[in-house]
């Protein structure tokens, strides 16, 4: 065991914690209308509570526990943290306590379903949300984490590379978000009234905290305070910088002014795209990855969404789905053994890494999409996914949470 | 001239503004108020203490100064676009307007109003 | 007695308040409103979706209750201090005021107003 | 019909609402305003620069449309519940109300007001 | 000396710093009325300034300095940080510079009086607050810290266990809070007008930052990046998750909807309860501790307070007092030597740890309560504790701080 | 290489990141009028993007690359991070990957131009800001960083001491801020209307996050988790506490009440002053440095600025310029070899360190001021620095960023 590595993964865990609350909560919360902000904060907060419990009780075991044989799912041997103690687990991280690896991964399991909130914001019933989230994490996230990261997982065995969760976290949540928002339908008056972000400073605060926490997400995934962490840290930072700037420049060219919402959105897209790649590519190529993700996500959000007319309220698919797919492919293009000997060479470095990446990008969305469709149908039949029209008009804060975010007269 | 004050449901604002424009009444002043009417409030809970939300609900207030000919069109436009048929749809109040002055030009009366 | 409602550009508030004071009208009630007038809105862009800002622009509303003698001084003070000469300078509306009561003393009428 | 505008101390709002209800006037519209009256402002300091708070103080504005019979009860209810006896207690202004329309039913006049 | 341990305690210090400002400041600040928010922020901010100075000048020496003989208080040998340098002090932390231990502890001394602010919010004079806080820290916190944690402290000698401050921080501040708010009386119009939180997003932001910082508070108290820190980290996280969820469920059952204020409050209660226990209990028992603290604190806040009618404005006693007492007792029930060899076995593991815990729970509130009563009387006679009615009506921001939080007309 | 040191510098980098966004962004953003808050957030956000790219592409090489001979500037050998890899660079930090040192320094290069924003807030054209910032960082910051910190830099060779950037960061930005705001002229209606901070809680949030991040800034500059870091950490904390308290007390004495804006401003001034000194002075002297900087900056902000009438909107010069100068001089007075053997003895310890400090304090402002003047003239002629009057009246959010911070009617 190594205290420096342990310190780094512990603090990285804290950083990833901060990505969901307050990071994502405020990033999303600022974008909705005043009457729905608490519903967003509550969803993020309660995901933190519920999924953390799910994780220690059985989720971690399903994801990282001893493979049940076919590379599909882990066994329940580690349920309730049995055998998960102070000693390192050499399969995952040889220099830190096993418990530290477990809790670091817990934060990934929490943020993934939280990302989906952006798609169905302002119209989902809280009870349905809670049930859906628990089922989705168990039946979509846990298996996917096992496939890609678990010992014996089939995508891992295939040689698929996903440093910090491009597939596991972003593609899975982004694609599920798309399916959900299509099934759920648009918000009332969508496109008739303008839906303005009620508090953009909150969104910038949340965006900055996402960037802040993402250093733990990506560089923490090196599971030690070493050269690999350094590379992941640097590539993360400059891919993000490049993407934030690019988005602002696109807006400037298209609409005459760069917005801070655009720069922030671009930065988040950059963070998403570099996530699978950060431990495999060099910093200069990270810049390309960042520039291109801004272009792709801008197109998805400003052009494709407008054309197709689905109501992905806060662009969970447009940013995380599209960004995650691009990042996973980019890993197949730009990965270098020179950066990470445990990695592989991508297309541009004469290697064959593109193929496993494409397989992951083909299979994961299919799996996530179909499962989400099934879960939606089940929960909708059981509880009903959407709030009544009247509640949507009054706002979810008062109708789902029985509280109001701000006082008006004082 | 008349000074029309209308209290409507907030989510109806865009429709009402559109309806007013359609009857050539583009000029209007808007603000947020709280109203206590016949509509029931929603219960709020803070740390286990539940309370009726005092039945003060968010409404939008429109103020519109018009010449006499435009009063009935305005009333019609508002009632039609703001109605949902549920309690809480709001009210229109009409007051007499003695004089209007356009600050920019110092014009007065019917000319200044538009 | 008259009840004056004035809508002005927000950045002119301090000057207008000063001008009113100079003509012995210190008492006034102020609030923020949005106005749709002849002034054009600025375009806003949210994630690549540009939209006319609905041309609802921030204005400041003044309400001033005065005795008859003070009506013209008030109008003059406001028009002079609030004017920039550009569209959007605002309007003054004058309504009849039937009665005024000072809560503290229950005084009524012209005495209560000041 | 009359249109009553009352400006009161913010912390008196709940008492005033209660008092109005007690005299069968449940319907009312409420908003926040700033008022300059005889009450002195509190000094504010920002980075060593002290300034009179411009004496614009927070007040709550009530708007109440009533039939003639309810005017005096309303005035009494407000003055009694809003009075503290200190400068700043506020004012009541009464304007003539020409017409009232309930949006939901298109009822007019005295029936619509309640 | 060990760089990994040092890095972990340094960053933990930063995390605990963030608990007071901005964490607690915003948690409390969002709950008060608009006219009092700056008074809360100012109290939290100035506590950070004043107590940090108190600590280096003499507080640290009183708390952790060489015992004066009776186990009651430390001597002044370390005043002004004399002898507190770069070399480790083996009595407290053998692998990190003594100065790092000292500054880590400084953050605990800061947050403890800050917690009390919640009880007397919206009505205390700033000058009285300042004097009271300085006296309270010196005469209540410093001795208590010595008793429980100082070498030679009598509670420590007795075998009392308090990993990160259940007694020292939470019981002491919570009980003092109760005494203070009773002596001070209720806010004007309490229960006549509804006092709504003016900005719940701020409260959620603060609550999330408390959780964030508490990782440093609890896991940092291991004073190294080791298995013990890992255990404290994990138990802290899931006790909190369990408590946040439980509170939300209670509300759902009682009032038909779970609120985000409830979930946040429950989480803070969970953090409080696990504080003394986190380094001694296993993760599964942490879940029980978390569930039960939500029940106890909910009862205190929603039932007992309403019955007895005292005005603990932001529930400093209901959450910290009650939660701290439960956590200290729970340590006596669930502690295991299997988790921490330096600890002891609790009742449920066949040990006798419950008795020292009960003694602490008996004595500490008595001491804190009586001292607070005396200090209140002294400061009230001298300066006057409460602002005049008129100032309370106008609000403390304008009358105590000469500034307004938000502009109204612009 | 040392994992503990690496972990500490990595997390310090994250902390310094948080100083610019969300720290400084909210500190400044809360102080402007409602119509300009997004322009501030955007400027801080885009500086993070643009300067991070500048840094990896050529800025780092100019600053820290092999000296070109005269001690004036680094060569371009390290442009695009060539030769900057996982291996430590013994000249700068022997125990951490070179890349980690590079990215830690990147955050300093980002925040420095961001500090200047405070001076020209509410009236600068966004395009001009962007061009100016890029030029200023390249032509002022990079050389200065080389002079003071680069191997072969002439101020470094002279023996000038600047632990974490008193000269490089604060004096340079503060003086440039003064020159800029004088050249740009005052805001419309300056001193006619009162300009109230639109959201002081945001300012306190930002101020607290600055303090939070500054631990990384100063203690991280030890480049390891060691005694030196411990000393820098402690001196930073108590100088700040002393300065925050002092400012509040001055206000109390002058105006009858201490404000939270004052305490926060004082704390930031304390952070600035201790920056160059933190690794060379002992904690007790840090208290003096903190008390005095509050006095000096208060005078600058409340007296001198009012007298001279320049419109340094958010006091970038008054706090960073004045505080940085005092801190640099104070280093020459209070530095001790007993604290840091690699340092020197200041005047009060019988050494001659005051002279090199005074030379730095003489030359750096001159250089920064003249360069800023030139750059202003160039960019003003080319693009125009100031927005048209009409745009200033409407606000920069709508006119420069095409978005509004808050919704009004919902
Ligand atoms: N007499 C009145 N005076 C002032 N405001 C009124 C009055 N009646 C209604 N309002 C305003 O109109 C809003 C809608 O009234 P409500 O009685 O709920 O609707 P409805 O007319 O559909 O029954 C109220 O919230 C209040 O703001
Ligand atoms: N007829 C009206 N009724 C209500 N409000 C009006 C009316 N005309 C103007 N206003 C208010 O006055 C503001 C300024 O009006 P505008 O037409 O832009 O200015 P100008 O009179 O200089 O052309 C508007 O934003 C609106 O708030
Ligand atoms: N003539 C007036 N016109 C408009 N508003 C007024 C007038 N007089 C008073 N007000 C409003 O009433 C509030 C209270 O008035 P003030 O003079 O302070 O109280 P009092 O009547 O007790 O002396 C003011 O802040 C202002 O908002």
Q: Is the minimum distance from the CB of B7 to ligand 1 under 6 angstroms?
A: yes
CB E99 within 8 Å of CB F230: yes
Please compute, for residue C33, the number of CA atoms within 13 A of its CA located in the half-sphere on the CB side.
27
**Domain F3-400 bears CATH identifier 3.20.20.80:** no
Query: What are the sequence ranges of the domains in chain F?
Result: 3-400
Instruction: List the beta bridge partners of residue B58.
Output: B34
Q: Is the peptide bond before E22 cis (omega within 30 degrees of 0)?
A: yes
* Element counts in chain D: helices (H) and strands (E): 3, 7
**What pLDDT is attached to residue A194?**
79
Could you give the percent of chain C with pLDDT greater than 90? Answer: 76
Torsion angle defined by CA atoms of residues A317, A319, A320 and A325, in that order, rounded to the nearest 10 degrees: 90
Q: How far apart are CA A106 and CA A59, in angstroms?
A: 9
Q: Is the minimum distance from the CB of B82 to ligand 1 under 6 angstroms?
A: no
Please compute, for residue A401, the number of CA atoms within 13 A of its CA located in the half-sphere on the CB side.
30
Q: How far apart are CA F172 and CA A52, in angstroms?
A: 47
| Domain D2-113, CATH number (from 3.40.50.300, 3.10.20.30, 3.30.70.120, 3.40.190.10) | 3.30.70.120
Token pair 């559109």 is found at B18
How confident is the model over C9-20, as a mean pLDDT?
A: 93
Decide if C53 and F399 are in contact by the 8 Å CB cutoff. no
What separation, in Å, do the N-terminal and C-terminal C-alpha atoms of chain E show?
A: 57
Which ligand has its closest atom nearest to the C-alpha of D88?
3
Q: How far apart are CA F408 and CA E393, in angstroms?
A: 27
How confident is the model over A223-250, as a mean pLDDT?
A: 98
Q: Where does residue F300 rank: exposed (0-12), middle (13-18), buried (19+ CB within 10 A)?
A: buried
- Output the CA–CA distances (angstroms, integers) from residue A49 to A13, A383, E279, F119, in the order listed: 15, 21, 21, 44
Q: How far apart are CA F316 and CA F180, in angstroms?
A: 11
Looking at residue B11, the DSSP 8-state letter turns out to be G
In angstroms, what separates the C-alpha of F21 from chain D's closest C-alpha? 23
How confident is the model over B62-68, as a mean pLDDT?
A: 97
Q: Is the dihedral of CA D30, D35, D40, D42 positive or negative?
A: positive
- What DSSP string runs through E68-111? -SSSS-B-STTGGGTT-SSS-BTTTBTTS-HHHHHHHHHHHHHH
- Can you tell me the ipTM of this complex? 0.97
**What pLDDT is attached to residue B52?**
61
Closest CA to C42 of C56, C63, C21, C30: C56
Closest CA to A117 of A93, A106, A133, A131: A133
Q: At residue E128, what are phi and psi to the nearest 5 degrees?
A: -65, -40
In degrees, rounded to 5, the angle at the alpha carbon of residue C34 between the alpha carbons of residues C31 and C39 is 125
Q: Is D97 in a helix, a strand, or coil? A: coil
Closest CA to E134 of E23, E73, E61, E59: E59
Q: How far apart are CA A110 and CA A117, in angstroms?
A: 12
Decide if E403 and D14 are in contact by the 8 Å CB cutoff. no
Taking phi over 0 as left and psi of -120 to 50 as alpha, with beta for the rest, E3 belongs to alpha
Residue in chain A lying closest to E256 (CA)? A402
pLDDT at B54 over 70: no
* Cα E335 off chain centre by: 21
Decide if A255 and C51 are in contact by the 8 Å CB cutoff. no
pLDDT at C4 over 70: yes
CB F328 within 8 Å of CB F166: yes
Among chain C, residues having any CB pair with chain E shorter than 8 Å are: 10, 13, 30-32, 58, 60
Q: Is the dihedral of CA A285, A291, A295, A301 positive or negative?
A: positive
Ranges of residues in chain E with a pLDDT under 70 are none
Reported as a single tens digit per residue, the pLDDT across A326-352 is 999 999 999 999 999 999 999 999 999
Q: Is D47 in a helix, a strand, or coil? A: coil
**What pLDDT is attached to residue F410?**
75
SS (H, E, C) E33-65: CHHHHHHHHHHHHHHHHHHHHHHHHHHHHHHHC
Which ligand has its closest atom nearest to the C-alpha of D85?
3
Residues of chain D with C-beta less than 8 angstroms from the C-beta of E399? 42
Q: Which of F 193-212 lie inside 8 A of B, CB atoms?
A: none
Q: Compare CB distances from A261 to C46, C50, C54 and report the shortest one's residue.
A: C46
Q: How far apart are CA B98 and CA D50, in angstroms?
A: 42
How confident is the model over C28-57, as a mean pLDDT?
A: 83
* Cα A183 off chain centre by: 21
Residues of chain C with C-beta less than 8 angstroms from the C-beta of D20? none
Could you give the percent of chain A with pLDDT greater than 70? Answer: 100
Q: Is the minimum distance from the CB of B62 to ligand 1 under 6 angstroms?
A: no
Decide if C104 and D87 are in contact by the 8 Å CB cutoff. yes
Closest CA to D41 of F32, C75, E408, E186: E408
CB D109 within 8 Å of CB D62: no
**Confidence category of residue D53, pLDDT binned at 50, 70, 90:** low
- What DSSP string runs through E9-31? HHHHHHHHHHIIIIIIHHHHHTT
- What pTM did the predictor assign? 0.98
**What pLDDT is attached to residue C53?**
55
* Cα A221 off chain centre by: 14
Q: How far apart are CA E404 and CA F2, in angstroms?
A: 49
In degrees, rounded to 5, the angle at the alpha carbon of residue A97 between the alpha carbons of residues A93 and A99 is 100
Reported as a single tens digit per residue, the pLDDT across A51-63 is 999 999 999 999 9
Q: Is A93 in a helix, a strand, or coil? A: strand
How confident is the model over F345-369, as a mean pLDDT?
A: 97
Which ligand has its closest atom nearest to the C-alpha of D90?
3
Q: How far apart are CA E52 and CA E354, in angstroms?
A: 34
Q: How far apart are CA E394 and CA E280, in angstroms?
A: 49
Could you give the percent of chain D with pLDDT greater than 70? Answer: 96
**What pLDDT is attached to residue E244?**
98
In angstroms, what separates the C-alpha of A44 from chain B's closest C-alpha? 19
Q: Which of A164-178, A370-384, B32-46, F350-364 has the lowest mean pLDDT?
A: B32-46
- A151/C contact by beta carbon, under 8 A: no
Taking phi over 0 as left and psi of -120 to 50 as alpha, with beta for the rest, A22 belongs to alpha
**What pLDDT is attached to residue F191?**
86
Ligand 1 centroid–CA E33 distance in Å is 27
pLDDT at F87 over 90: yes
Q: How many residues does chain D have?
A: 114
Q: Which residues lie with the beta carbon below 6 Å from any ligand 2 atom?
A: B 27-29, 63-65, 102, 104, 113; C 7, 35-39, 57, 59, 87-91
**What pLDDT is attached to residue C38?**
80
Interhelix angle E98-120/E172-184, nearest 10 degrees:
30
Looking at residue D42, the DSSP 8-state letter turns out to be P
């Amino acid at each position: 065991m190594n205290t420096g590595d342990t310190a780094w993964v512990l603090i990285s865990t804290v950083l990833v914690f901060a990505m969901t609350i307050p990071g994502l909560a405020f990033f999303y919360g600022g974008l909705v209308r005043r009457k729905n902000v608490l519903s967003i904060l509550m969803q993020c907060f309660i995901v933190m509570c519920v999924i953390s419990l799910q994780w220690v009780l059985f989720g971690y075991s399903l994801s990282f526990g001893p493979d049940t044989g076919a590379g599909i799912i882990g066994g329940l041997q580690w349920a309730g943290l049995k055998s998960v103690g102070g000693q390192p687990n050499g399969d995952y991280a040889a220099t830190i306590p096993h418990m530290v690896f477990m809790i670091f991964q817990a934060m990934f399991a929490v943020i993934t379903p939280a990302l989906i909130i952006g798609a169905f914001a302002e119209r989902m019933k809280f009870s349905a949300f809670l049930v859906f989230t628990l089922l989705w994490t168990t039946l979509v996230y846990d298996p996917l984490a096992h496939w890609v990261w678990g010992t014996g997982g089939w995508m891992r065995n295939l040689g698929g590379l996903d440093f910090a969760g491009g597939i596991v976290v972003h593609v899975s949540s982004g694609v599920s978000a798309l399916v959900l928002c299509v099934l759920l339908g648009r918000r009332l008056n969508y496109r008739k009234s303008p839906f303005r972000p009620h508090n953009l400073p909150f969104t910038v605060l949340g965006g900055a905290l996402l960037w802040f926490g993402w250093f733990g997400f990506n560089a923490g995934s090196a599971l030690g305070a070493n050269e690999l962490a350094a590379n992941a840290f640097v590539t993360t930072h400059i891919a993000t910088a490049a993407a934030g700037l690019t988005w602002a420049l696109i807006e400037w060219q298209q609409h005459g002014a760069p917005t801070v919402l655009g720069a922030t959105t671009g930065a988040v897209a950059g963070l998403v795209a570099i996530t699978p790649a950060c431990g495999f590519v060099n910093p200069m190529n990270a810049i390309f990855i960042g520039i291109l993700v801004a272009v792709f996500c801008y197109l998805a959000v400003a052009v494709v969404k407008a054309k197709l007319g689905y109501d992905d309220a806060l662009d969970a698919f447009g940013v995380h789905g599209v960004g995650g797919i691009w990042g996973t492919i980019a890993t197949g293009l730009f990965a270098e053994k020179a950066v990470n000997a445990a990695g592989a060479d991508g297309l541009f470095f004469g290697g064959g890494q593109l193929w496993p990446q494409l397989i992951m990008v083909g299979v994961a969305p299919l799996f996530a999409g179909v499962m989400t469709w099934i879960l939606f149908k089940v929960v909708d039949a059981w509880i009903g996914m959407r709030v009544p029209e009247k509640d949507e008009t009054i706002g979810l804060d008062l109708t789902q949470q029985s509280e109001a975010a701000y006082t008006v007269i004082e | 001239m008349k000074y029309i004050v209308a209290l409507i449901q907030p989510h109806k604002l865009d429709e009402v503004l559109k309806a007013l424009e359609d009857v050539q009444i583009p000029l209007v002043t808007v603000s947020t108020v709280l109203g206590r009417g016949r509509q029931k409030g929603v219960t709020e809970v803070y740390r286990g203490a539940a309370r009726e939300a005092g039945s003060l609900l968010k409404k939008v207030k429109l103020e519109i100064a018009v010449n006499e000919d435009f009063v009935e069109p305005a009333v019609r436009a508002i009632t039609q676009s703001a109605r949902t048929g549920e309690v809480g749809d709001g009210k229109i109040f009409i007051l007499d307007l003695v004089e209007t002055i356009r600050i920019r030009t110092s014009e007065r009366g019917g000319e200044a109003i538009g």
